[in-house]
Structure 1
């Protein structure tokens, strides 16, 4: 099981981000670490930056080394460039920290002299030697490619920077029966409403928590998703059953700014609390799978495909840029597979 960890600054705190391909066992182990949290933006778990955690995750000293003065200046310029391009602050932090790791490795070399061969050497001598994950390596590549696009004097050929071959993992999908058990597990209408809306519209966790009452178009049975991933607006169809539930919920809770608010009026519901809502639903329904909120979105897409919905429409509903991202659901749809007769039946 390959994983990697690195020190980061997240929401003003010193943290350690832990990257790995999806693994239920490792997720359970990280959850037991005091202060562990999942970040949808970073797409990683992060834990307090303590000496114990540094030893536990074998963080190499290079992660804490200061880059050269030239590199520090260029990293700051890179941050300013990203801000001018309206990148989110979390992306700016992620990319600048990833770039810092690379430039620390070449702190004795002028940035203008760094070449594509140096990227290969870095991958072999740092990434692979320290058994760091492909997802972390890919993040480094993203940062390097973007950074060198902003540098005028460079020997780097950005288009020729290669990415690691990533594992082709299928999305996790729950059956319709399991979804029904989860959505009916809570008697609290707010908890039931949040989980139901994620599944019925195929929403990301952040998209649900950013919803405001004005984003519900009850006349046209639509949900407007503002500034979703990639700063794109999109619409999702609203089930009449969901609309009835929403009306009941609205009367009971009367949200002020966000559709789902926490204990403080006008503040969005906490994403960690929402994860707990799902966890409780799983326990109540007796489902032992390590399901996450994103599993509901995967299940929405797969069930649409199994119902005969065109892949192009599913792509639009999910907000995918590329059809290739959406095509992965064809590999987990059981509609065609279940019709295949096993030769064992003829024996």
Structure 2
């Protein structure tokens, strides 16, 4: 019999029981594993900093004071404070059925306006030149297709269209799908990567495994889809592991830290002083397209931005090319 998270939360006598109720509610509402981990972390911290009392005993002033401490004493970013607020509002509204009164006096963390780090074409070439094999291919997809890091590692076989030179990004930021370009230069290396991944998948099937994690209720709706080749990850992990939610052993995608470490190492070897990361390659993708004369609305669609104002941040470097804006000193 399935447990009711709200009933568990109401009868919880210890923080551990309350946390378990939150976990069940998050999974019932199909929140991602990363969101689940982040929300549970903030709720644990909130309870611990308030004497391990049940959140139902704490009013909006306590909630406001906690968020203010994060901004004033913890000096967290605006996005971090917003994440903490979202976690606590989920606890109160979704689980406890309480709408805490909001206080205007809460100190908000200041949202910084940062110019994105962008590499020149020469720097991109030097960076990619220091990478090899799978890591080179993944970094090339970040730059050549504008993928986010997790969009790249979560890429599935069925979402690559070699005939149309397209990649379909599923459940991107904001749980949105979009299509972006597949560079012709990456078609052959990507085909070879798929051949290697298929060998790994076939071995898993022969060993009695081969089922991959499927989103939402697809595993129940299509029981055999988890073993289908099209649903497998393009960049599978080097070893099998157990799903933290179901306990089923399978092969997940590669850990994103592998690519992050490779890019960091390549940046140092290439002598690039800029604090470039995997996401810098996506910034460079957008900037170089705009420099080449691409329409900003097209770039917005390729990046998956909801608002064109988000894409406009890349126009800060448009001071080169035929339409360059020249300094009066250069004139």
TM-score (norm 1): 0.66
Report what 1:172 is aligned to.
117
| More strand per residue | 1
Offset, 1:335? 4.5
Taking only aligned residues, the RMSD between alpha carbons, in angstroms, comes to: 3.5
Offset, 1:288? 3.2
SS in 2 for 1:287: coil
Report what 2:276 is aligned to.
291
Report what 2:21 is aligned to.
77
**What per-residue deviation string (whole Å, max 9, x for no partner) do you get for residues 221-276 of structure 1?**
11122333343332211122222333355567765443234544855333222223
Offset, 1:315? 2.6
2:234 corresponds to which of 259, 282, 294: 259
SS in 2 for 1:198: helix
Q: Call closer, same or farther: CA 1:92–1:335 in 2, change over 3 Å.
A: same
Q: Call closer, same or farther: CA 1:103–1:250 in 2, change over 3 Å.
A: closer
5 Å matches for 1:135-154?
135-150=79-94, 151-154=96-99
Q: Call closer, same or farther: CA 1:262–1:87 in 2, change over 3 Å.
A: closer
Q: Structure 2: how far apart are the matches of 1:244 and 1:175?
A: 25
Q: Call closer, same or farther: CA 1:160–1:203 in 2, change over 3 Å.
A: farther
Report what 2:246 is aligned to.
none
Q: Call closer, same or farther: CA 1:330–1:148 in 2, change over 3 Å.
A: farther
Q: Call closer, same or farther: CA 1:123–1:275 in 2, change over 3 Å.
A: closer
Q: Structure 1: how far apart are the matches of 2:239 and 2:97?
A: 49
Given that 1:149 and 1:158 are in contact with CA atoms closer than 8 Å, whether structure 2 keeps it comes out as: no
Q: Call closer, same or farther: CA 1:216–1:341 in 2, change over 3 Å.
A: closer
5 Å matches for 1:222-261?
222-247=166-191, 249-250=193-194, 256=201, 257-261=232-236
Report what 1:339 is aligned to.
324
Offset, 1:308? 2.7
Offset, 1:183? 2.2
Offset, 1:294? 0.9
With 166-175 and 209-218 compared, the bigger mean Cα shift is at 209-218
2:303 corresponds to which of 302, 318, 331: 318
Q: Structure 1: how far apart are the matches of 2:39 and 2:154?
A: 24
Q: Number of residues paired by the alignment?
A: 276
**What per-residue deviation string (whole Å, max 9, x for no partner) do you get for residues 99-153 of structure 1?**
23234444568626612x43443344x3356334235433222222333332434
1:204 and 2:204 correspond = no
2:267 corresponds to which of 256, 273, 282: 282
Higher RCO structure, 1 or 2 (CA under 8 Å, sep 6+): 2
Offset, 1:166? 1.5
Report what 1:305 is aligned to.
290
Q: Structure 2: how far apart are the matches of 1:159 and 1:85?
A: 30
Structure 2 portions without partners, runs of 5+ = 1-11, 202-231, 241-250
Report what 1:214 is aligned to.
158
Structure 1 portions without partners, runs of 5+ = 1-67
